[in-house]
Every structure is written in C-alpha cells, then in structure tokens.
Chains A and B, each alone.
Chain A
Amino acid sequence: MTATTLPGSRRHARPSPRRPLGIVPTVVLVLGAIYTLFPVSWVVIAATKSKAELFSTATFAPGTGLLSNLADLFAYRDGVFWLWLLNTILYAGGGAVLSTAVSTLSGYTLATYRFPGRNLIFNLLIGGILVPSVVLAIPQYLLLSAAGLAGTYWSVLLPQILHPYSIYLARVYARAAIPGSVLEAGRLDGASEWRLFRQVALPMMTPGMVTIFLFQFVAIWNNFLLPFIMLGDDHTFPLTVGLYTLLAAGANQPSLYNLIITGTMLSLIPLIALFLTMQRHWRTDLSGGAVKS
C-alpha cells in the first residue's frame, strides 16, 4: 500500500517555498491512521495469545495460541460461530440485493416519469431518512410477531429492504446517467416500459447500483438493534448479536476472553476484505452521490 506513494513523494521533493507545510498534514494523517489501526492491530495480535499469555505478555507481543483459540471458537456450542457468519452473509447479501432492486426501480421511476402524486410519493419515501429507527423497531417486532414471523430470517430481512437514502441516491444516479432522449427513442421503437428499464436504464445505472449495494450490505452487516430485538434463537443470529451474547456470557470469566477476542478478530475479516477490494467503487461513487446532495 505504501509503495504507491513513493513516486508521488519524490515528485514533490524538489524545493518549493511552501514545502514545510507538507509535514503538518502528513503527520496529522499518520497520527489519525495510528489511532484507527491501533485497536484492529491489537485484536489481531491478542487473538494469537494463549489464555496465560493474554494477561502476562506485552500488549503487542504475538503469542502462540492462535490455533487453539480458533479450535476453541469453532467448538463453541457445536460451531455456532460459523452459523452466525453464514447468517450475516445471508442477511447482508439478500437484504442488499433486494434493497438495491427496489431502490433502483423506484429511483428510476421518480427520476424519469411525470405523473400525478410523484412529489408526494417522493417526499413520503425520502421523509423516512429522518425517522429514527427506534419508533420502528418495536412496532415492527409486534407486527411481525402478529404475522408469526418474529424470530425468523424474514423478520431481519424484510424491514431492511426499504432504504430511503438509497432511493434518493438511485434517483440522483438515474437523473445523471439516463438521457431522456434515449428513453424516447426506445418508446418510438415500440419497446415496453419494462423493457426500457431492463435493457436501457439498468446498464446505465449499474455503477450507482454497486454503490447502493455496498452501502446497504455494510449497513445490514453492522446492524445490531433490529436482529437483537427480532431474534431469540442463537441459530438465527448474525455476528453482531452472536458476539454480544458471547460477551454477555463470558464477561465475568477471563478464561473466555480469548474466545471473544478471536471471534471479534474473525468477524472483521470479511468486511475489511470486501472494503479493500472494492476501494475504487467507494471512492468514485461516493463522490458521484455526494456532489449532488
């Protein structure tokens, strides 16, 4: 990662009257990076320590217990940790796919059609951005229990499909990416409205859809309140709720700390990997959305 910055710094190395100023931003940013990387590197190293090493060796001295920690974690309640991981992938992946589909279709429609009630519908859907999740979570639980769905996968999936900010973003992308003339030309050729959406609009909106998918994926992956309220059986838990129950069970037993630390470390890997591989999409598309907002 650092290798790429070397040519850049060499280019700037020629004498310049304001050069000393470059030191201040660099130092501040490096301090910021140390602060953010500190707990992550700690948890990675702590996960390698055995029970005894955790409390005795120096904070950043690697230990010898990684394999036994992993074995302990995977043996915990017959490997329920794997189930939490799979559940999280299911909730985040399924929820983000459905959410992206609904947001894209809605954003496209709100951006390209003129029809009575359009502004009303837009304001209703967007107004949801300001609704605190607290007014929703409890009645959602009660309503889903009445429907017999509380505690099931659906109870975590369904409430997270509608995402006002994604609809707003999709509308911004549709406005920017789809020229009205293209749709008109398609209509003159006799294409149906659905075909226009599928074959003309969708390819143009794909970069925006990737961003919406990523945002929703991360939001659902990180969500704690909704699954915490909805789910009772630890076989349906996502990682966040699973780790919380692990802590609640083991906080008073330092012998379980290794288990919790190893679980936390493993739970970071998938999202950080996704995040690093999708770097380009975060950057370009965030700017695409943010400029318009």
Chain B
Amino acid sequence: MRSPTKGARAGRAGAVPYLFLAPAMALFALFMALPIGYTCYLSLRRIKVSGLGLGKGARKEVFAGLANYAAAIGDGELWAGWLRVLGYGALVLTLMLGLALVFALMLDATHVRLARFTRISIFLPYAVPGVAATLMWGFLYLPSLSPFGDHRFLGADLVTFSMANVAIWGGTGFNMLVLYTNLRAVPREYYEAAKIDGASELAIALRIKIPLLVPSIILTTVFSVIATIQVFTEPTTLRPLTNTISSTWSPLMKVYRDAFVTGDLYSAAATSMVIAAISLVLSFGFLRIVKNHAFGEGR
C-alpha cells in the first residue's frame, strides 16, 4: 500500500523477512499444519484386527476410506450432542450478545452514573477461568447451598439454562467492552445533528449507534459461534455435580471420550474434522449472509 519505498526495501531486505518470520512459520508447521494433516490422515484410517487380535502384527492400521466419517455422520449420540449444543448455543449467543450490546449502549448514554464501576464489574468475569466460573455457579445450583430455593438447576429440565448462564456470565463483559470501545471511537458530532432534530437518546441508539456497530457485532458473533460449538469446559466441570450431563453431552466431549477413554483415535479424528467443518461452514455462511444483508440494507 505504501509503495514509494517498495523497490528499495525489497532489494535490501533479501532473506531478512523470511528469517524474521521463521519462528512463527516453524510453530505454524509444527503445531497447526502438522496436527491438522495428522487428524485428516487418522480420520481415514482404522485398525484391522486379524485372528483373535493377539500376538504381533495382529492389529494393523489400514486405510479406511470415508468409513469413519460415515460412522460419525450416522452416529445418533453425536447428533443428540449437536442438538443439545444448538439449544445451548442459541441461548448463549442471543442473551450474551444481546446483553453485551445493551450494556455497551447504556455505558455510552449521556446521563449514566456509576459508569466506571459497572463497566469494570461487568468485565470482571473475563478474568475468571471457565472452570472457576462453573465451580462457583455449580455450587450455587446445588439445592443444599443455593440461595434460590429448592429448584433442580442441574436436573434434565434446567441444565441447559444453568450451563448457558455460566457462559453468558463469563462472556458478556468481554463482548460488551469490544462493542463499547467501538462506540467510543465514533466522533460525537455524528449524534449532534440528530439531537438538534430532537431525536431521543433511544432513537439515536437504534438508528445511528447500532448500525455503526454492525461490523463489530458480526465479528463478535463469529468468534462466539466458534467458541460455542466447541463447548467443553462448562459441561465437563459440571459433570461431577450431576448425573444429567453425559460424557458425550457436547460433540467435543464425545471426541475427548473417543480419543482418551475408549481409545478410538480414528473416529475421534473423523468427528473432530466434522466439528471443524461445521464451525467453518457456520462462520463463513454467517459472514456471507450478513454481508449480503448489510449491503442490501445499505443501498
């Protein structure tokens, strides 16, 4: 983009940029490209047992084609996991991002008190590990400790809501801050004309601020979708406190169980490729839809 110095730099720099990028590229190759390739490879393999499976060479790794994928796609438990995550994700995404947007707009309102105190308080859960957040809420959900009376928060009816609450509690503040800092970057003059025309604070928020925030809302949504699909920490940490959460509650928990408990690396690899594909399709699909929509609205 800044081209005047192009020739001079390219001529002088030579191998230097590649040397400077070598650490990142080495890490990329070892901890990103190689693992992805290896997962791909494993997902296409299986163990072939000959005879009784005893003795040397009785268990051989062979090419399996797409059998592991067929099994993953036909797996009812995995689908049930997707459905659970879909319900949980719908709750988390709408409430967390909705609250984040409301709080950001409120912080940006003209006559707000306690803005600093509430902003810091709402952002605070960002500094709390998911495990610790789940432990705190988990204990608060226990009938023996709960101040909310004798509800079965971890029973089959409420467990999705209880889990979503932990994620909403943990994620709202960060998203609020991202949206709020974007709002702060808007020059105040944008609102002056509307104010002179007698527009209310609410009208300014709805008609000017939210449209200005659309790109950051899209970005936070995409990142939240990717995180939600991979939900693992909250259900895993809540499991010891209740028997309504199975070891395959979410797709990622099933991958963990297949790989490390039942020892079936191959189907775990195929399942994780399916999770990756779904999250890529969802985030790109969402970006596309929103882009078209935004363009349609804009013109």
0/1 string, B257-268, CB within 8 A of A gives 1: 001100001001
Do A19 and B111 touch (CB < 8 A)? yes
0/1 string, A1-18, CB within 8 A of B gives 1: 110110011001000101
Contact residues in B for A43 (Cβ distance below 8 Å) = 136, 139
Whole-angstrom distance between the Cβ of A84 and the nearest chain B Cβ: 11
Do B130 and A224 touch (CB < 8 A)? yes
A267 and B133 alpha carbons, distance in the complex (Å): 11
A293 and B115 alpha carbons, distance in the complex (Å): 25
Do A224 and B131 touch (CB < 8 A)? yes
0/1 string, A115-152, CB within 8 A of B gives 1: 10010010011001011111110111011000000000
A3 and B6 alpha carbons, distance in the complex (Å): 54
Q: Which of A35, A46, A118, A187: most chain B CB closer than 10 A? A: A35
Whole-angstrom distance between the Cβ of A260 and the nearest chain B Cβ: 7
Contact residues in A for B260 (Cβ distance below 8 Å) = 229
Which of B47-55, B74-82, B270-278 touches A? B270-278
Do B144 and A55 touch (CB < 8 A)? yes
Q: Which of A114, A180, A187: most chain B CB closer than 10 A? A: A114
Contact A29:B122 (CB < 8 A) given known A1-B117, A18-B111, A39-B136: yes
The answer to whether A254 has its CB under 8 Å from any CB of chain B is yes
Contact residues in B for A29 (Cβ distance below 8 Å) = 103, 106-107, 112, 114-115, 118-119, 122
Do A22 and B177 touch (CB < 8 A)? no
Q: Which of A39, A102, A162, A283: most chain B CB closer than 10 A? A: A39
Whole-angstrom distance between the Cβ of A244 and the nearest chain B Cβ: 6
Do A254 and B20 touch (CB < 8 A)? no
Contact A114:B128 (CB < 8 A) given known A46-B139, A132-B276: no
Contact residues in A for B133 (Cβ distance below 8 Å) = 39
Do B24 and A244 touch (CB < 8 A)? no
Do B24 and A114 touch (CB < 8 A)? no
Do A138 and B265 touch (CB < 8 A)? yes
Residues facing A in B19-61 (CB within 8 A) are 20-21, 23-25, 27-28, 30-32, 34-36, 38-39, 42
Contact of B6 among A4, A114, A268, A272 (CB under 8 A): A114
Do A268 and B39 touch (CB < 8 A)? no
Do B252 and A134 touch (CB < 8 A)? yes
The answer to whether B224 has its CB under 8 Å from any CB of chain A is no
Contact residues in B for A103 (Cβ distance below 8 Å) = 24
Do A162 and B145 touch (CB < 8 A)? no
Contact A272:B127 (CB < 8 A) given known A109-B17, A225-B232: yes
Do A135 and B276 touch (CB < 8 A)? yes
Do B128 and A268 touch (CB < 8 A)? yes
Which of A62-70, A71-79, A202-210, A274-282 touches B? A274-282
A239 and B126 alpha carbons, distance in the complex (Å): 16
Residues facing A in B199-213 (CB within 8 A) are 200-202
Do B115 and A121 touch (CB < 8 A)? no
A109 and B269 alpha carbons, distance in the complex (Å): 35
Do B35 and A140 touch (CB < 8 A)? yes
Do A287 and B230 touch (CB < 8 A)? no
Whole-angstrom distance between the Cβ of A47 and the nearest chain B Cβ: 11
Contact A40:B128 (CB < 8 A) given known A5-B116, A25-B111, A138-B269: yes
Contact of B127 among A102, A118, A121, A274 (CB under 8 A): A274
The answer to whether A200 has its CB under 8 Å from any CB of chain B is no
The answer to whether B217 has its CB under 8 Å from any CB of chain A is no
Do B136 and A135 touch (CB < 8 A)? no
A193 and B13 alpha carbons, distance in the complex (Å): 8
Contact A30:B118 (CB < 8 A) given known A132-B226, A135-B35: yes
Contact of B201 among A18, A26, A35, A142 (CB under 8 A): A18
Residues facing A in B170-205 (CB within 8 A) are 172-173, 177-178, 181-182, 184-185, 200-202
A42 and B132 alpha carbons, distance in the complex (Å): 13
A158 and B127 alpha carbons, distance in the complex (Å): 23
A28 and B109 alpha carbons, distance in the complex (Å): 12
A-B contact pairs, 5 of them (CB 8 A): A5-B117, A33-B117, A162-B27, A240-B130, A290-B185
Besides the contacts A26-B111, A46-B145, A138-B268, what 7 more A-B pairs have beta carbons closer than 8 Å? A130-B283, A134-B275, A136-B35, A161-B27, A252-B240, A267-B132, A279-B120
